[in-house]
Amino acid sequence: MRNKLTEELAVCGLNAVLALGEYHPDTINRLFLRTDRLKTFSGVCRRLAQQKRPYKLCEDEELERICKTVHHQGVAAMIDEPVVAPLSLEELDFWADGGKTGLVLHSVENDHNLGAIARAAAFFDVHFVVLNENDSEARLTTSAYRVAEGAMEHLTVRKVGNTAAFLKDASKRLLVLGTDTRARQRVGDLGGIVKARRGRPGIALVLGNEETGLPQPVKDCCSCLLRIPGTGNIESLNVSQATALFLYHLFEL
């Protein structure tokens, strides 16, 4: 939940706050926790005390008010509201030259999906997650952090203004893989596609809206389009499920 007065965001959930305390402890402005979580977060509390930043023992009711959810798991950290910066040319060079894998999300439109996608991305060693700045729903919210289970601390999240224009330029440096439920090639073809490029290329996996998929201008900028084969009983998987399957295949190459 965003605090508009202090321009802070509540990060809640045991794993999300543990990861925050381990990897980016200096970003925690205040900590709220139940008594039963005190031992787990004793190190974080000591660090906050040394920095003269407050922590408070409280009950579930107060945590629910802070987080606007009952799924706080007994702890919440207040951080400055995240600002997603534009992807820089230097970062794109690092992505391409290092053979890194990144995700480009076009109109995912759901912060829960963003959190689940981030969790899969961190699990399979993705470095970048690129959002479209016009997607008003897929944002770094309390829900996204909680569903990500700590994954946000392992990812570089950036934004672009125009997905198609970005991919048109990025495709000169990256292997751009689009996802499409009607594509001719399957996810199992990834090995041959990647090996056809010299060395291990930097990869951008592009995912779109669950209902409408990727728009044609975005598809046109992809090196190839891939689908996950299934029974056809339903149209497609949830976008976070599809992300995990694609990333597993890339990780295994």
pLDDT value, residue 230: 86
> Of 43, 58, 80, which residue is a domain's last?
80
Query: pTM here?
Result: 0.93
Name the token pair of 186. 């399957």
pLDDT value, residue 135: 83
Say yes or no: 164 and 215 in one domain: yes
pLDDT value, residue 2: 54
Say yes or no: 21 and 137 in one domain: no
Say yes or no: 17 and 101 in one domain: no
Q: How far apart (Å, rounded) are the C-alpha atoms in residues 18 and 182?
A: 41
- Helical axes 239-252 vs 111-123, angle rounded to 10°: 10
Say yes or no: 171 and 240 in one domain: yes
Domain span at residue 37 reads 2-80
Say yes or no: 60 and 143 in one domain: no
Q: How far apart (Å, rounded) are the C-alpha atoms in residues 102 and 55?
A: 36
Say yes or no: 169 and 123 in one domain: yes
pLDDT value, residue 52: 96
Q: How far apart (Å, rounded) are the C-alpha atoms in residues 46 and 27?
A: 15
Say yes or no: 29 and 129 in one domain: no
Say yes or no: 69 and 154 in one domain: no
Q: How far apart (Å, rounded) are the C-alpha atoms in residues 99 and 125?
A: 12
pLDDT value, residue 202: 94
pLDDT value, residue 4: 55
Say yes or no: 60 and 94 in one domain: no
Instruction: Scan for tokens 């759901």, then name that residue.
Output: 110
Residue 19, domain CATH = 3.30.1330.30
Say yes or no: 107 and 207 in one domain: yes
pLDDT averaged per 10 residues, the chain (length 253): 70 97 96 97 95 96 94 96 94 94 91 95 97 86 96 97 94 94 92 83 93 92 93 83 95 90
Say yes or no: 53 and 176 in one domain: no
> Of 50, 80, 110, which residue is a domain's last?
80
> Of 34, 52, 80, which residue is a domain's last?
80
Residue 220, domain CATH = 3.40.1280.10
Q: Is 150 left (phi over 0), alpha (psi -120 to 50) or beta?
A: left
Say yes or no: 63 and 120 in one domain: no
pLDDT value, residue 198: 73
The total number of structural domains in the chain stands at: 2
